[in-house]
């Protein structure tokens, strides 16, 4: 199955998804979906935190 293999980003060799490093060149393989999703939600939270911070500062700072 395609989902059971991860393509190496450097040499494109297919590796088992359980292995953390490429069996051909030894480079670290891309992480699985859950971590990418968590990282994405972190950026969304950081983005809204910055937006809210900017809005607060716009009203807080005297003109
Ligand atoms: Zn590789």
The whole-model pTM stands at 0.41
Whether 25 and 39 share a structural domain: no
How far is ligand 1, taken at its centre, from the CA of residue 18, in Å?
A: 15
55: confidence class by pLDDT, cuts 50, 70, 90: very high
The whole-number pLDDT of residue 45 equals 94
Quote the CA–CA distance of 9 and 29 in Å, as a whole number.
7
Query: Average pLDDT in the 27-45 region?
Result: 74
Tokens of 25: 């060149």
Output the CA 29–ligand 1 centroid distance in Å. 8
pLDDT for the residue numbered 36:
53
Distance from the CA of 24 to the center of ligand 1, in angstroms? 5
Same domain, 26 and 3: yes
| Total domains present in the chain | 2
Query: How many angstroms separate the CA atoms of 32 and 4, rounded?
Result: 11
Mean pLDDT value across residues 57-62 = 87
11 DSSP 8-state letter? T
Please give the residue range of the domain that contains residue 51. 34-63
Ligand 1 centroid to Cα of residue 22, in Å, is: 5
First to last CA, the chain: 62
């Amino acid at each position: 199955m395609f989902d059971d293999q991860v393509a190496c980003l450097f040499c494109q060799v297919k590796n088992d998804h359980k292995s953390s490093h490429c069996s051909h060149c030894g480079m670290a393989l891309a992480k699985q979906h859950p971590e990418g999703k968590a990282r994405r939600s972190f950026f969304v939270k950081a983005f809204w935190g910055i937006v809210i911070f900017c809005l607060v500062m716009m009203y807080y700072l005297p003109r």
